[in-house]
Amino acid sequence: MLKHAQGTIRGKTLVHKRAYFLNFLCNLGLEYIPHYYGPFSPELEAAIGRGRALGFVREETVDYGPHRQLGFEVRRFDCALTDDGHVVVEDLVKRKPEECRKALACLDELARAGDDSYVALSIAAKTHHILRTVGQPLTRTQIVAQASKLNWQVSEEDINGAVEFLKRLELVKVDKT
């Protein structure tokens, strides 16, 4: 993912959300559990930590100063490949060319569908998770109700945007009847 993003992804949430969809498009087999900020993979979180610990991934903190209403500092954690990280990624591409080609193609598909906004991706991931878990067609109102049960605050308008994104990835079908 970092190679595809030219070495840096702005915000760890974006890493998690892109990985969520990459998992389904490439069938990586990561398990996701619903958490308060959306579907969460402890395995992925651990892998990011290990990449950092081994010196392949660098986490850079971008400070935005104090939030006026909330009073705390707003920060973004960007993930970047280090020089050593570039070395092992190139090595991985040589060792597993087919898997890497497939992953990069999936990431291209995600980019075409519009994967720049972590907020939009987060809502799309929640929507997709709910539809998968429930296992039957739901209206927008029903999706919002399911999200509320998981302590996820989303509106029907949010769901509209998420559904458009998921349609572009062919992860959902919309039945207008």
Select from 149, 175, 176, 177 the one that contacts another protein (CB under 8 A): 149
Is there binding between residue 36 and another protein (CB under 8 A)? Answer: yes
Q: How far is the CB of 124 from another protein (least distance, A)?
A: 19
Question: Which H or E run includes 64?
Answer: strand 57-66
Is there binding between residue 58 and another protein (CB under 8 A)? Answer: no
Select from 139, 151, 155, 160 the one that contacts another protein (CB under 8 A): 151
The whole-angstrom separation of Cα 75 and Cα 83 is 25
Is there binding between residue 112 and another protein (CB under 8 A)? Answer: no
Is there binding between residue 49 and another protein (CB under 8 A)? Answer: yes
DSSP output for 26-53 = TT-----EEETTEEE-HHHHHHHHHHHH
Is there binding between residue 174 and another protein (CB under 8 A)? Answer: no
In 3D space, the residue among 107, 134, 114 whose CA is nearest the CA of residue 24 turns out to be 107
Q: What are phi and psi of 138, to 5 degrees?
A: -130, 150
Q: Answer for the pair 61, 75: CB distance below 8 angstroms, yes or no.
A: yes
Name the site residues for another protein (rule: CB under 8 A).
29, 31, 33-37, 40, 42-43, 46, 49-50, 52-56, 59, 61, 84-85, 87-88, 91, 94-96, 149-151
